[in-house]
Structure 1
Amino acid sequence: MVERRMSVATHWGSYIAVVDSGQLVRIEPRYDDPVPSPIGPGMVTAADDSARVLRPAVRKGWLNGEPRAHDTARGTDAFVEVSWDDAITLVSDELRRVRAQHGDSAVFGGSYGWASAGRFHHAQGQLHRFLALGGGYTDSRNTYSTAALEVILPHVIGGHPWSYQSRMPMWGEIAENCELVVAFGGLALKNSQINPGGLARHQTQNLQRQCREAGVRFVNISPIRSDTAGFLDAEWLPVIPNTDTAAMLGIAHTMLVNGWHDEDFLRRCCVGFDRFASYLAGELDGIPKDAAWAAKITGISRDAITDLAGRLTTQRSLIMVNYAVQRADHGEQPIWMSVVLAAMAGSMGRPGCGWGAGYATMDATGVAPDRPFVGTIPEVSNPVPDFIPVARIADALLHPGKTIDYDGRRLTLPELRLIYWCGGNPFHHHQDLHRLARAWQTPDTVVVHEAWWNTTAKFADIVLPVATSLERDDFAAGFSDPHIVAMPKVREPAGESRTDHNIFAALASQLGYEREFTESRSEIEWVRHLYEQTRTKLGGDAALPSFDDFWRSATAELPAATGPFPGSFEDLRSDPQRFPLLTPSGRIEIFSEEIDSFAYDDCAGHPKWFEPVEWLRADLSDRFPLHLISNQPASRLHSQYDNGGRSLSSKIDGREPVTMNPMDAAPRGIESGMIVRVYNDRGSCLAGAVLSDDVMPGVVQLSTGAWWDPVQPGMDGTLDRHGNPNVLTADRPCSRLSQGPSALSALVDVERYDSPLPDVLAFSPPSLEH
């Protein structure tokens, strides 16, 4: 046996693939990765499993010309395998027809998702380039992960939605300067396995250890104890889900009435504190937002809130807020309020202290402020100005022509006749999957590029098999990661799979713009070109080795990003006149005149407590007394490699595990290892029970990403056999400001499932005809 060892780069780390005679034998961690993710080795299991899409396939009803709207059989129909020539002709003809009859905006190419880590074979980049050159498309805006944050922060602290990443303290600064970290939503290390774009070495765990060893104390305000690592010895304050804003208001009120707040910083570097202080004191509504008020809402004791206010203002402190808290009703509020609380506490703009978001959500956050330029597939300007907020795809399909609010604008939802999805899985990301399934029946045609027969592929009309990241040449460079990693093709594509680029080049040829799309380069020529572009931009030989040397060595170190990083809070504190923020006032906007002018009833001119639609104090809790936390999984990235070895090994009798407190399990007769039914009025799913006091009473935790496996795909509310929490979550926007998803505002109940267990078919292909 002659084994070859080859570099592999993924969103969850870099590895060595061991190949023998063209067969993938195993995937090993790199020797220099201190905390390698276990997801990588599990990729071997999925490489050639029965779920691989091996040939182009067309839904039988669509191919036979049956009605292409409303009462179609997407999700239940058989597929007919066809040749590549026929598939390319079908897709190109349908693109021509839809554009001619309904206009370019009728083509939806939002195609949200992580795809793979490569700089050239970036699925959405390839799709958007292809569609833009063909006349344009309706796009989506923002992300399911952070939509509320992306919209609110430019109003509050100015700058690009993601510019805060380079303006908040890095872990090294925290270890050196900070005494107290208060983490709303915690710091779950499982999330730091990933980095968008890839990473060479995982650093977050060791950096957190350094902080603790330096004496930094941590407070975890979360419904889940393990949202901070055990070695941090964090103080856990269990909080009723969706009440973080109320907890922050109670802390802020305590600071205010005791005169502990940083009056100098608030006066010089912020605007609108006086109006916010009136709200805190209850001068407008007669309700002081004091510690006792907050305790009744949050479940955190009055004494704990008062104590935390004192510690935040007498110690060098950092307020951290995780992304999860803003994926909820009124999700803008905890983000906005966390900035205000940091401004009041006295540490804003001091080294290693103040405010930050998303720490440990990705390995990149807090590791380095930025990464220098790295080339990627060139963008083409989209001729179509229409877009939808990313989480409003079902609304657009169900209600074309409807007008919605978005960040001070009025948007008319376009009529979408052709959906082209590439590099993502909407039947994972979206909420209320039964509603999405109804909406998914309305367009004329759904085209999907997929490597596996997941739910999105099964709900398509035309499925084009694509090569995985192991089956093509590329290179990776992650957000804030100081390395660039080669991704040589490890093996040939399975079956008749092709790369996304190859597919789009063939379509562009039929549609008359192949040269514009490919620029007359082969795929490896593109990879070389983008690397050399990067090398030249960063300084040539002094910055990076030649492409051939890089390809042989597999990894190269990028020069450090040196900025400038505009919007520094340290600069603001030192001289707000000389270093203004990119807000209308040039300061932190505790009160935003612009947001106030929108006159939204669910997002005021300053941060405020809005009662969620679904939470443990709502009337609905009489029927559904448990709050569902649908957080990110530890065993995969979103739904990627749910069919991989790591994810499969985490299942209980083939179902996704659901964690609940023993106090909630006992009266329901539930024991660890039992299969249970999690349900509400929107749907139900089976899951394997795990009992643990890691979650507070009244809360159940079911990770996202299990491939949806409905017993009867055409039946509204049908049981999911596999454990996808988005059959339970509400397709309801955070607010009129961001229109972001509110997945973490969902009430459920859990019961034993004593009926015969249905077989899990999530990883089985549909019926295929030739």
Structure 2
Amino acid sequence: MKSEHQLAVMHWGTYQVTTREGNIAAVEPVAWDRNPSRIGQSLTDSVTGASRIRRPAVRQGYLQHGPASREGRGKEPFVEVSWEVALNLVARELKSVKAQGGNEAIFGGSYGWASAGRFHHAQSQLHRFLKGFGGYTASTNTYSSAAGERVLPHILGPLSPLHHQHTHWSVLAEYCQCFVAIGGLPLRNAQVNGGAANDHALKYWLEKLHSRGVEFINISPVKNDLSAISDASWLAIKPGTDTALLLALCHTLIAEDRYDRAFVASHTVGFETFKSYLLGEVDGSAKTAQWAAAITGLSAQQIIDLARTLSGKRTMINISWSIQRARQGEQAYWATVALTALLGQIGTAGGGLAFGYACTNLAGADRAAFSGPRLPAGKNQVSTVIPVARLADMLLNPGGEYQFDGQQCHYPDIRLVYWAGGNAFHHHQDINRLIDAWRRPETVVVHEQYWTAQAKHADIVLPVTTSLERNDIGSASHDGFMIAMRQHIPPVGEARDDYAIFCQLAQKLGFYDKFSEGRSPEQWLEQMYEDARPRAAAENIELPAFADFWQQGKLEFNRPATPQIFLADFRADPQRFPLATPSGKIELFSQTVASFDYAECPGYPYWDAGIQQQQQSLARQWPLHLLSSQPRTRLHSQYDQGSVSRASKIHGREPLWMHPNDAASRSITEGSIVRVFNQRGAILAGVHLSTDILPGVVQMSTGAWYDPLDPTVPGSLDKHGNPNVLTEDRGSSRLGQGCSAQTCQVEIERWQQPLPEITAFNPPLFVE
């Protein structure tokens, strides 16, 4: 029996995949990966498993009645059809919607991590196709960090470039004395990267810092958020109160004259306005340690001691993306900038601030910035863009007004949703509300590999290949590698790659030449590779000829000769190296934000007591604060059907962490199945008891495939455990309009009835 061994690139790592007679036989981590992710083991039983979509399928009601049947989404069986029938339907609806509502009526979804390959990246393929068709309504920012992405340009600079400038771990290992992790440094998050994660180095570097005597302080409701450092100091803060703590630390530094006056004077603007707010001159409430103690659950002495520690050592303060995924999440990022500015260590070796060490495998990696080949995107002729987390608002309120980052905006009237890659039924909050919104457009088209909830709620479902069934190039910024992703197995069933699908549609719609430029996928790979050469040269990387690269299978780039220090140039000379802010300096007070006249964002780091009071009121009915984290056993919802994810379930349900005291008062024990519920819905979960979580707080991972008990009943119980049934679909603020999933209150009770069967991974019912 013939066996083949080739490299496969995933967002969570590169693996040596063994195939026999066209089937995946084994998946092994590569030798150079210091802490490989287990997620790769899910490939073996998933790629050809029962959840795979094998033929084009159309919802029965849509096939019979077209858009008039939209209420049947998620309820009706499917009919498998030929590719010709399916593509004719898609082309017909695209032309119809364009004729009646214009290109603005088409929403190009595809938010998500579709493929580690640079050519067969579904989001890029879909957007290039829709641009060729005349344009589409797009989305901006991310569910991961939208609040931070919107506030930082006003006060420090755009988040994405800043994220690529983080101080290298090697510098921290030499100079850092204290590492403060707001939201922890979870190893589970650093398994993944946008593009590839070839060398998982976080655990190695944390252990390196620890061996040098670096003091670690974990500020989180969950001790396990810094599991790599067993003796880290744990400040068990109440969820959503980080801004109050940060403001109190700033107040303490000023009150005890521990702040760096010279740095504040030379590198910031707006200090006096911010100081006035801290001292209570604005609202009559000084932001003292005693004030914050009543909010955060920490003692005033803990806060004062922390401020003294920070100012007395070379301190790196890192705030995770999870902190800003909450109501007023923008303010926690702003307050972190303010605190580190007062400490005056920004731009120093081993000190300063960071936004997302451990949020992916990227931040701090001492690798070349070169990101590899890119597919030309084209130009969108439609200017309408919505905040990505306002998807349901858009579908429910065509023509409705909303405010966003200083702009007065209107939602378009979307008639067709086209999604390729990603999964709104994972990313989006308040799934029951999303289902209502999802039934408003005339047509929903989805490219998918597996029968996810999003596919089951579509009208037309087109089966696409996985990265093991096509050729591609794997690479990512600051990853340090480029991998030839050779096809391992034939396409499963009748699956086709996104490019082939869009080429056929473009031919039916009259712009094939413009879209394809006459190239096959292999010709595109070589062209993209050649186009990347100048960018590689700019990073002192000499790429071999494409044929040589493809034969070698792997390139590893030299590490930067000079280690990177975040904002070192700005620190050395703020006039010569200004920030990308209106003033060119750190803005402790932003006149731009103040001019928006948002009560919740007055122009400086701000604690919103009104939101706190709302949460306290909700807690009287829903007393437990639910946190939803990135899972350890999958990437978002990808490969929840795989063996690694399934092995983590409790009686088939997603695990929920709970403090023993909260469990005892509800007669809940280890391994109990519970109903978790609030005003938005209810789910089942399996309980894991731990003292490593703050009482009054429970935690679940996101990504369990939505599995309603009865899809025909609105608000039906999700029997599998998707926390986004419970999270609120509300913007972080008018400034960022980001996801606020971490602001969520629930109640929990023991499930006393027979356990319903998990059907999340089953294909839908098919009819002739």
Q: TM-score range by the shorter chain?
A: over 0.9
Give the aligned partner of residue 742 of structure 2: 744
Shift in Å at residue 574 of structure 1?
A: 2.3
Give the aligned partner of residue 554 of structure 2: 555
Matches within 5 A, 1:279-318: 279-318=277-316
Shift in Å at residue 110 of structure 1?
A: 3.0
Shift in Å at residue 194 of structure 1?
A: 0.4
* Letter aligned with residue 3 of structure 1: S
Give the aligned partner of residue 48 of structure 2: 48
Give the aligned partner of residue 196 of structure 1: 194
* Letter aligned with residue 358 of structure 2: A
Give the aligned partner of residue 362 of structure 1: 360
Identity of aligned residues (%): 47
Matches within 5 A, 1:74-89: 74-89=73-88
Shift in Å at residue 284 of structure 1?
A: 1.5
Q: Secondary structure at the match of 2:265?
A: helix
Give the aligned partner of residue 240 of structure 1: 238
Give the aligned partner of residue 492 of structure 1: 490
Shift in Å at residue 351 of structure 1?
A: 1.4
Q: 1:525 aligns with which of 505, 523, 531?
A: 523
Shift in Å at residue 603 of structure 1?
A: 1.2
Matches within 5 A, 1:428-439: 428-439=426-437
* Letter aligned with residue 536 of structure 2: L
Give the aligned partner of residue 4 of structure 2: 4
> Is contact 2:168–2:563 with CA below 8 Å preserved after alignment?
no
> Is contact 2:727–2:742 with CA below 8 Å preserved after alignment?
yes
Matches within 5 A, 1:349-388: 349-368=347-366, 371-388=369-386
Shift in Å at residue 572 of structure 1?
A: 2.5
> Is contact 1:106–1:417 with CA below 8 Å preserved after alignment?
yes
Structure 1 residues without counterparts, runs of 5 or longer: none
Q: Secondary structure at the match of 2:714?
A: coil
Matches within 5 A, 1:703-714: 703-714=701-712
Matches within 5 A, 1:17-416: 17-65=17-65, 68=68, 72-158=71-157, 160-231=158-229, 233-368=231-366, 371-416=369-414
| Aligned residue pairs, count | 767
Q: Secondary structure at the match of 2:547?
A: helix
Give the aligned partner of residue 652 of structure 1: 650
CA displacement 1:637-666 (0-9 Å, x = unmatched):
000000111101111111101110001001
> Is contact 1:6–1:17 with CA below 8 Å preserved after alignment?
yes
> Is contact 1:616–1:625 with CA below 8 Å preserved after alignment?
no
Give the aligned partner of residue 762 of structure 2: 764
Shift in Å at residue 42 of structure 1?
A: 1.2
CA displacement 1:601-624 (0-9 Å, x = unmatched):
121100010147478961111111
Shift in Å at residue 530 of structure 1?
A: 1.7
Counterparts in 2 of 1:439 and 1:359: CA distance versus 1, 3 Å = same
Q: Secondary structure at the match of 2:665?
A: helix
* Letter aligned with residue 573 of structure 1: R
Shift in Å at residue 286 of structure 1?
A: 1.2
> Is contact 2:191–2:197 with CA below 8 Å preserved after alignment?
no
Matches within 5 A, 1:460-609: 460-535=458-533, 537-539=535-537, 543-560=542-559, 569-609=567-607
Shift in Å at residue 579 of structure 1?
A: 2.1
* Letter aligned with residue 200 of structure 1: N
> Is contact 2:371–2:477 with CA below 8 Å preserved after alignment?
no
Looking at structure 2, the residues matched to 421 and 353 of structure 1 have their Cα atoms a distance apart, in angstroms, of 42
Structure 2 residues without counterparts, runs of 5 or longer: none
Looking at structure 2, the residues matched to 761 and 145 of structure 1 have their Cα atoms a distance apart, in angstroms, of 28
Bigger shift: residues 388-397 or 529-538: 529-538
Bigger shift: residues 122-131 or 543-552: 543-552
Looking at structure 2, the residues matched to 332 and 455 of structure 1 have their Cα atoms a distance apart, in angstroms, of 31
Looking at structure 2, the residues matched to 578 and 467 of structure 1 have their Cα atoms a distance apart, in angstroms, of 50
Q: Secondary structure at the match of 1:162?
A: helix
* Letter aligned with residue 183 of structure 1: A
Looking at structure 2, the residues matched to 422 and 215 of structure 1 have their Cα atoms a distance apart, in angstroms, of 48
Give the alignment's TM-score, normalised by structure 1: 0.97
Shift in Å at residue 523 of structure 1?
A: 0.8
Looking at structure 1, the residues matched to 685 and 612 of structure 2 have their Cα atoms a distance apart, in angstroms, of 22
> Is contact 2:327–2:731 with CA below 8 Å preserved after alignment?
yes
CA displacement 1:390-445 (0-9 Å, x = unmatched):
01110010001111111111111000000000101000000000000000000000
Q: Secondary structure at the match of 1:630?
A: strand
Looking at structure 2, the residues matched to 12 and 213 of structure 1 have their Cα atoms a distance apart, in angstroms, of 27
Counterparts in 2 of 1:225 and 1:386: CA distance versus 1, 3 Å = same
* Letter aligned with residue 132 of structure 1: K
* Letter aligned with residue 144 of structure 2: S
Give the alignment's TM-score, normalised by structure 2: 0.97
Shift in Å at residue 564 of structure 1?
A: 13
> Is contact 1:142–1:389 with CA below 8 Å preserved after alignment?
yes
Shift in Å at residue 274 of structure 1?
A: 0.6
Bigger shift: residues 538-547 or 60-69: 538-547
* Letter aligned with residue 555 of structure 1: K
Q: 1:672 aligns with which of 652, 670, 673?
A: 670
Matches within 5 A, 1:683-698: 683-698=681-696
> Is contact 1:109–1:127 with CA below 8 Å preserved after alignment?
yes
* Letter aligned with residue 290 of structure 2: A
CA displacement 1:721-757 (0-9 Å, x = unmatched):
1000000000010000111010000000111001011
* Letter aligned with residue 27 of structure 1: V
Bigger shift: residues 264-273 or 369-378: 369-378
Looking at structure 1, the residues matched to 561 and 739 of structure 2 have their Cα atoms a distance apart, in angstroms, of 35
* Letter aligned with residue 36 of structure 1: P
Looking at structure 2, the residues matched to 22 and 281 of structure 1 have their Cα atoms a distance apart, in angstroms, of 69
Shift in Å at residue 629 of structure 1?
A: 0.5
CA displacement 1:367-397 (0-9 Å, x = unmatched):
1376225221111110000011001110010
* Letter aligned with residue 82 of structure 1: V
Looking at structure 2, the residues matched to 229 and 672 of structure 1 have their Cα atoms a distance apart, in angstroms, of 21
Looking at structure 1, the residues matched to 714 and 257 of structure 2 have their Cα atoms a distance apart, in angstroms, of 56
Q: Secondary structure at the match of 1:175?
A: helix
Q: Secondary structure at the match of 1:701?
A: strand
Looking at structure 1, the residues matched to 572 and 347 of structure 2 have their Cα atoms a distance apart, in angstroms, of 8
Looking at structure 2, the residues matched to 582 and 231 of structure 1 have their Cα atoms a distance apart, in angstroms, of 36
